[in-house]
Amino acid sequence: MTMMPSARLRLTTVDTEATVRIELRGDLDYDNADRLLAAVTGQLAGRPRLEHLHLHCAGLGTVDSMGLSVLLMIHRRTGEAGVRLHLDDRTARLDRLLTITGTLEHLTASPNGAASSPAGAGESPKNSAEARAARPTGPDGTT
Amino acid sequence: MRNDAAGLLLPAARPGTCLADVAPGWLSVAHDALRCPDTAADRAAQPPLSGVIGERSFEAHPSVRADGTVVWWLVDDTDHRLVREALHMERERTAFLAKVSSMLLSSLNLGRCMDVTAQMAADNLADAALVIAPAQGPQLPVVTCLRGGHPVLSHESVDPDDVPGLGEALRGFPPVPSRWIDPAAAPEWMVPEGFGPIGSIVVTPLPGHGVPAGALVLLRRSQTAAFTEGEEVFARLFAARAGAAMSAARLYAEQASITEILMRELLPPSLHQISGVDFAGGYRPSMDHDRVGGDFYDVHPAVVDGEASLVALGDVCGKGLEAAVLTGKIRNTLHALLPLADDHQRMISLLNTALLNSHHTRFATLVLASAVRKGNAVDLRLTSAGHPRPLILRASGAVEEARTHGTLVGALPNVPTHTAALTLAPGESCVLYTDGITEAKGGPMGGTQFGDERLQRALSECAGMPSESIVERIQMLASQWVGDGSHDDMAVVVISAPRTRHLSAVNGHTRGRFTA
Amino acid sequence: MSTRTSHRLRGDEAVRQLADELWEAVSAADEYTATDLVLRAVDDGVDPESVLLDVIAPVQGKVGREWAANRLSVAQEHAATAVNERAVAALALHPAARTAPERGRITVACVDGEWHALPARLLAEVLKLRGWRVDYLGAQVPTPHLITHLHRTAADAVALSGSIATRLPTAHAAITACQSVGAPVLVGGAAFGPDGRYARRLGADAWAPDARAAADRLAGQPLARPQPDHQQLDDLPHLADQEYTMVARGSASLVRTVFTALEDAFPAMRAYSELQREHTAEDLAHIVEFLATALYLGDEELFTGFITWTAEILTARGVPAHSLPPALGILARELKDFPRATRILRRGTDALIPLHATTAGNRA
């Protein structure tokens, strides 16, 4: 059980010439996800020599669909600017969200294509293992 | 005795005459009472005596002298009294206008505003009142009310221009003043049944805010006094309030009907059994004043009998009307792609292409389910595009996650998915839901997520329940979990293989056996 | 007259027989038999209103009682209700149940948070049979929806249904809102008390003990149009002390505090499973909710009634109710600055004493 009262998003930025690191604390959601996008857009515009953007995610609370949308937008913008996006210290919840939505690989793949996290997209969470054992499902079909 | 002033006022009162013969009754009665010592003590505590002599009004102050005679000091308070009366009337009118305002402001319904206007006008300004709204179509809506009666709505097929001043009043432009019309010229429809001969009749425009609001017609009987100038001013003040309320109500009704028409396309459909498969759905938008939001579902029956029906349930990023508009686009696109319903991956890829946009990454997650009855069972194919996995509720109460996964649509160039195929035995169900359910925060201690585990536990108690009961149960538990707190949109669709009639007949008469 | 009476008697018997058969079908979740029964009865000439009110309504009442007595599971209760609802839906489509609207317009709705829609549905169908134009808005209608609907339709009256006492504050908001837009409100359902006392306290324009009485009331003298400047505080001046607001708003933290204190008092609770802990917390939340409702209404009996009912339900389900008095004690300690809450909690504790002695005796 998570006991997570909705918290305002706080952004802490640490930078060098080629690397920007933004520490995220609080919820990345409908009410404040735009602030992260604005911060990142500002960094991209102001630093032509930027190579790496690190979003430090350990302090993230709830990430809702707007939050995920902003992460996808940041990925698109960094890609266009030739900057590599790193989602560092992801929480289990964030990984779960990225897994369910099928975006983990896209957001975390290194340029050679391999996912930086071993979490395989689409594996069943273990809590249904018992239920499956109770009765076999039908054959899986791939389209 | 009398002084000169008294002589002017009561010329008949000469010394020695009896007061009762020369003074008005109110004064002589008071005089007699004063001379009786029992009541004299009470008098002091009472307000000063007053009354009319001739055309003027006086306050009378007695002073009893030692010899028992009484001196009456009469003070002319006519002007004072007129001012007081005027003040009293103004207060009444202000109170009436305040009441009018609060009655009229409370409703945004045009019919009700017309009723209130007619009734208050009839009870306070005239013997009867008519409120006429601008025509919508060939007929003129008219609310008529007699003093002390109830407002009655009728529709008159008449030309308002036949009544002097009415046509202009209903057009709202150019501005026209109140118009007295000849009672004899008033058309029959303007005179309430049993009203009798009309004394005076006035047509007052109801000023709207940029839109015509209508007209007020006041009628007085012949024996009643005609309208004074003050009353006319007052009627105009009343008309200004009534007109503002009626034009606001008309604008609201127009907006509400536009919203209604647009909303109809966005509302989730009501579901039922199709080709031997039970479908039920439920939806609760995040905001109580909205009826739509970012979650959606649809069930499309197969075009050819014996083929699968297609269910789509999804969630677009964002909230409220903006999100609802995007759900409309997705639902229309999926509808157009129905000929490809067999091929979930193709449908999802084409939908993705239709939604991709270089300006934003507003995505949607969804599940497609193809369901077809096979004997007593239902065959299902399920594909998740970045959406929480559907749950399968078995007859035993076991809950399984369907083994499908895939990528959300509308943000990335490629959206690979993996479809799961499975079979529901009679009485078994498949539950599609949006994360508004599992991410609902609340609970007895507050701040806890409803979560997957709690959802699965709740579902396992629903084994054997009809599809609409499962939907209702899940919605109820999630809503109660949230309590009065805020929540995201919540949608649930349940696909069930109906329990067979045969089973009910065999087990039906033993309580509780059907869940076994 | 006499022929009518004898016919009526035979009708009563037939109706009782029908109710028994419907109960059999409904408790077995046998939709087809239930629907057939209802339709055949109407085919045979039984008055559709009688089928709704003398057959379906009593059966639904029995569903509720059997659930409370733990003789029906949650799933069975839901299934039985669903079957009853389908029977009502089938009956509504029967040619004998089709009537042309010749009276005014009535809006029928359930209070927000009220999920028991069947009583409202029955009333809606009865009103249709009696010639009203009915807008049935269904279960748990948020007040903004209800008011928007009234602005659009100008209904002659609103019939509001509620079975859960803790929704009464919400019901009050809905009643006042309807009245403020000029619609008189008739209320009904278990929430308003067996004698309708809470209906009066919340300023409803009328109260009816059941659907038939509600339909009769609406058929009689039209409900007067309410005054628009009425406010909620006018009905319940004691709300000025803010005790309701404080308890209702602080509910979650009150539950947490009491839960922790109970753990200290009953170390056995620490061994509870996650599920048991959640059930305990839910029970506590329920107590706080009823306390808040009693504060809102200024009615101590509402709370004592709930507490004794809870003790009985717990006992019926084989759960000892011995943690109730300490829970009330801890709550009273937390709320010691609130005189009305303190008094209500004391009354609750007193009400438990005889019950507690009995259950203890049973277990010995």
Residues of B in contact with C182 (CB under 8 A): 103, 106-107, 109, 112, 116
Q: What is the mean pLDDT of chain B?
A: 87
Q: Average pLDDT in the A56-63 region?
A: 92
Give the residue, C10 or B224, on which the prediction is more confident. B224
Q: Both C191 and C124 in a single domain? A: yes
Residue C128: is its pLDDT beyond 90?
Answer: yes
Across the interface, of C75, C112, C281, the residue whose CB is closest to B445 is: C281
Instruction: With beta carbons less than 8 A apart as the criterion, state whether C110 and C122 touch.
Output: no
- Structural domain containing residue C313: 239-363
Please count the structural domains in chain C. Answer: 3
> Three-state DSSP class for B477?
helix
Domain with CATH 3.30.450.40 in chain B: 91-261
Instruction: Say how far residue C152 (Cα) sits from the centre of its chain.
Output: 28
Across the interface, of A1, A69, A106, the residue whose CB is closest to B317 is: A69
Residues of B in contact with A101 (CB under 8 A): 363, 365, 386-387, 407-408
Q: Which residue of B has its CA nearest to C26?
A: B508
Q: Which residue of C has its CA nearest to B280?
A: C82
Residues B92 and B97: their CA atoms lie apart, in Å, by 9
Q: Both C277 and C325 in a single domain? A: yes
Residue B185: is its pLDDT beyond 60?
Answer: yes
Residues B116 and C296: their CA atoms lie apart, in Å, by 34
Residues 455-514 on B with a CB inside 8 Å of A are 456, 488
- C319 Cβ under 8 Å from any chain B Cβ: no
Q: What are phi and psi of A12, to 5 degrees?
A: -120, 125
pLDDT-derived band at B289, boundaries 50, 70, 90 = low
Residues of B in contact with A127 (CB under 8 A): 452-453, 456
Q: Which residue of C has its CA nearest to B470?
A: C78
Residues C75, B462: C-beta atoms closer than 8 Å: yes
Instruction: With beta carbons less than 8 A apart as the criterion, state whether B400 and B471 touch.
Output: no
Q: Which residue of B has its CA nearest to C32?
A: B501
| Least reliable range by pLDDT among A99-108, A119-128, C196-205 | A119-128
Residues of C in contact with B448 (CB under 8 A): none
B497: left (phi over 0), alpha (psi -120 to 50) or beta: beta
Q: In three state form, how does the secondary structure of C11-61 look?
A: HHHHHHHHHHHHHHHHHCCCHHHHHHHHHHHHHCCCCHHHHHHHHHHHHHH
Cα distance from B464 to chain C (closest Cα, Å)? 8
- B146 Cβ under 8 Å from any chain A Cβ: no
Residues B418, A142: C-beta atoms closer than 8 Å: yes
> Three-state DSSP class for B374?
strand
- Type of residue at C41: A
How does pLDDT run across C133-162, given as a tens digit for each residue? 999 999 999 999 999 999 999 899 999 999
How does pLDDT run across B96-132, given as a tens digit for each residue? 888 888 888 888 999 999 999 999 999 988 999 999 9
Cα distance from A126 to chain B (closest Cα, Å)? 10
Cα distance from B336 to chain A (closest Cα, Å)? 20
* Domain edge (last residue) among C206, C235, C264: C235
| Least reliable range by pLDDT among B8-12, B297-301, C324-328 | B8-12
Give the residue, B486 or B423, on which the prediction is more confident. B423
- Is beta strand B198-206 parallel, antiparallel or unpaired with respect to A52-63? unpaired
pLDDT-derived band at C69, boundaries 50, 70, 90 = confident
pLDDT of residue B45: 58
Contacts for B362 with CB less than 8 Å, ≥ 6 apart = A69, B316, B317, B318, B326, B410, B411
B474 C-beta neighbours (distance < 10 Å), count: 23
Radius of gyration of the CA atoms of chain C, in A: 23
Instruction: With beta carbons less than 8 A apart as the criterion, state whether A9 and A25 touch.
Output: yes
Residues C222 and C218: their CA atoms lie apart, in Å, by 7
Query: Residue B253 carries which DSSP code?
Result: H
Contacts for B367 with CB less than 8 Å, ≥ 6 apart = B311, B312, B313, B314, B382, B383, B384, B385, B387, B390, B404, B432
Residues of A in contact with B437 (CB under 8 A): none
DSSP B36-75: SHHHHHHHTTSPPEEEEETTEEEEEEEEE-TTS-EEEEEE
Instruction: Say how far residue B460 (Cα) sits from the centre of its chain.
Output: 41
pLDDT of residue B502: 40
Cα distance from B104 to chain C (closest Cα, Å)? 9
Q: Average pLDDT in the C217-242 region?
A: 86
Residues B398, A100: C-beta atoms closer than 8 Å: no
Residues of C in contact with B102 (CB under 8 A): 228-229
pLDDT-derived band at C356, boundaries 50, 70, 90 = low
Q: Tell me the range of B134-138, B222-226, B342-346, B481-485 where mean pLDDT is highest.
A: B342-346
Residues B264 and B252: their CA atoms lie apart, in Å, by 18
Q: Both C209 and C292 in a single domain? A: no
Residues B490 and B434: their CA atoms lie apart, in Å, by 6
Q: Which chains touch C (3 or more CB pairs under 8 A)?
A: B
Q: In three state form, how does the secondary structure of chain C look?
A: CHHHHHHHHHHHHHHHHHHHHHHHHHHCCCHHHHHHHHHHHHHCCCCHHHHHHHHHHHHHHHHHHHHHCCCCCHHHHHHHHHHHHHHHHHHHCCHHHCCCCCCCEEEEEECCCCCCCHHHHHHHHHHHHCCCEEEEEECCCCHHHHHHHHHHHCCCEEEEECCCHHHHHHHHHHHHHHHHCCCCEEEECHHHCCCCHHHHHCCCCEEECCHHHHHHHHHCCCCCCCCCCCCHHHHCHHHHHCHHHHHHHCHHHHHHHHHHHHHHHCHHHHHCCHHHHHHHHHHHHHHHHHHHHHHHHCCHHHHHHHHHHHHHHHHHCCCCCCCHHHHHHHHHHHCCCCHHHHHHHHHHHHHHHHHHHHHHHHHC
Torsion of CA C351, C352, C357, C358, to 10 degrees: 90
Q: Which residue of B has its CA nearest to A100?
A: B386
Cα distance from B309 to chain C (closest Cα, Å)? 23
Cα distance from C361 to chain B (closest Cα, Å)? 32
Give the residues across from B405 on adjacent strands.
B418
- Type of residue at B433: Y
Residues A50 and C169: their CA atoms lie apart, in Å, by 58
Cα distance from B271 to chain A (closest Cα, Å)? 26
pLDDT of residue B51: 85
Contacts for B424 with CB less than 8 Å, ≥ 6 apart = B377, B378, B380, B392, B430, B495, B496, B497
- B403 Cβ under 8 Å from any chain A Cβ: yes
CATH of the domain at C37: 1.10.1240.10
C13 C-beta neighbours (distance < 10 Å), count: 10
Instruction: Tell me the residue length of chain C.
Output: 364
- B401 Cβ under 8 Å from any chain A Cβ: yes
CATH number for the domain running over B91-261: 3.30.450.40
Residues C28, B507: C-beta atoms closer than 8 Å: yes
How does pLDDT run across A61-96, given as a tens digit for each residue? 989 999 999 999 999 999 999 999 999 999 999 999
Q: Both C128 and C14 in a single domain? A: no
Residues B409 and B366: their CA atoms lie apart, in Å, by 8
Interface test with chain B among C151, C164, C296, by most B beta carbons within 10 Å: C151
> Three-state DSSP class for A95?
helix
Question: In Å, how far are B111, B252, B258, C135, C149 from B255, measured between CA atoms?
Answer: 16, 5, 5, 21, 13
- Type of residue at B231: E
Residues A72, B412: C-beta atoms closer than 8 Å: yes
pLDDT-derived band at A117, boundaries 50, 70, 90 = very low
How does pLDDT run across C1-18, given as a tens digit for each residue? 444 443 444 568 888 999
Interface test with chain A among B401, B431, B454, by most A beta carbons within 10 Å: B401
Residues 247-306 on B with a CB inside 8 Å of A are 294
Domain ranges of chain A: 10-111
| Alpha helices (H) along B182-228 | none
- Choosing among 1.10.287.110, 3.40.50.2000, 3.30.750.24, 3.30.420.40, the CATH entry for A10-111 is 3.30.750.24
Instruction: With beta carbons less than 8 A apart as the criterion, state whether C247 and C254 touch.
Output: yes
Cα distance from B446 to chain C (closest Cα, Å)? 5
Helix (H) or strand (E) holding B206: strand B198-206
Helix axis angle, C251-265 to C324-334, nearest 10°: 130
Q: Both C41 and C59 in a single domain? A: yes
Across the interface, of B112, B472, B512, the residue whose CB is closest to C76 is: B512
Residues C111 and C167: their CA atoms lie apart, in Å, by 7
Across the interface, of B394, B407, B439, the residue whose CB is closest to A103 is: B407
- C157 Cβ under 8 Å from any chain B Cβ: no
Across the interface, of B253, B468, B508, the residue whose CB is closest to C33 is: B508
Residues C28 and A112: their CA atoms lie apart, in Å, by 61
Residues C232 and C177: their CA atoms lie apart, in Å, by 9
Q: Average pLDDT in the C201-224 region?
A: 94
Q: Average pLDDT in the B16-20 region?
A: 78
Across the interface, of B317, B405, B449, the residue whose CB is closest to A122 is: B405
| Least reliable range by pLDDT among B26-30, B475-479, C19-23, C236-240 | B26-30
Q: Which two tokens stand for residue C207?
A: 């109260």
Residues of C in contact with B462 (CB under 8 A): 75, 78
Interface test with chain B among C24, C71, C73, C255, by most B beta carbons within 10 Å: C73
Interface test with chain B among C26, C118, C152, C254, by most B beta carbons within 10 Å: C152
* Domain edge (last residue) among C69, C98, C127: C98
Residue B405: is its pLDDT beyond 50?
Answer: yes
Residue A142: is its pLDDT beyond 50?
Answer: no
How does pLDDT run across B228-256, given as a tens digit for each residue? 778 888 888 899 999 999 999 998 988 98
Residue B174: is its pLDDT beyond 90?
Answer: no
pLDDT of residue A111: 60
Residues B39 and B33: their CA atoms lie apart, in Å, by 6
Torsion of CA C213, C218, C223, C226, to 10 degrees: 80
- C83 Cβ under 8 Å from any chain B Cβ: yes
Q: Both C89 and C134 in a single domain? A: no
Q: Which two tokens stand for residue B493?
A: 């669709």
pLDDT of residue C2: 41
Q: Both C32 and C114 in a single domain? A: no
Residues C252, B511: C-beta atoms closer than 8 Å: no
Numbers of helices and strands, H then E, in chain A: 5, 4
- Is beta strand B295-300 parallel, antiparallel or unpaired with respect to B152-156? unpaired
Contacts for A3 with CB less than 8 Å, ≥ 6 apart = B447, B448
- Is beta strand C185-188 parallel, antiparallel or unpaired with respect to B405-406? unpaired
Across the interface, of B386, B400, B447, the residue whose CB is closest to A102 is: B386
Q: Which CATH class is domain B270-515?
A: alpha beta
Instruction: With beta carbons less than 8 A apart as the criterion, state whether B449 and B439 touch.
Output: yes
Q: What is the mean pLDDT of chain C?
A: 89
Residues B66 and B76: their CA atoms lie apart, in Å, by 27
Cα distance from A106 to chain B (closest Cα, Å)? 8
pLDDT of residue A7: 60
Across the interface, of A4, A125, A143, the residue whose CB is closest to B343 is: A143
Residue B435: is its pLDDT beyond 90?
Answer: yes
Residues of A in contact with B400 (CB under 8 A): 128, 131-132, 134-135, 137
How many residue pairs bridge chain A and chain B with CB atoms within 8 Å of each other?
129
- B70-76 sheet: strands from edge to edge: B49-53, B56-64, B70-76
Give the residues across from A46 on adjacent strands.
none
Q: Average pLDDT in the B299-321 region?
A: 91
Residues A19 and B269: their CA atoms lie apart, in Å, by 51
Q: Which two tokens stand for residue C150?
A: 């009234």
Across the interface, of A66, A127, A141, the residue whose CB is closest to B452 is: A127
CA atoms within 13 A on the CB side of B295: 25
B69: left (phi over 0), alpha (psi -120 to 50) or beta: beta
CATH of the domain at C197: 3.40.50.280
C354 C-beta neighbours (distance < 10 Å), count: 9
Residues B361, A69: C-beta atoms closer than 8 Å: yes
Residues C155 and C183: their CA atoms lie apart, in Å, by 7
DSSP B308-364: PEEEEEEEESS-HHHHHHHHHHHHHHHHHTGGGTT-HHHHHHHHHHHH--SS----E
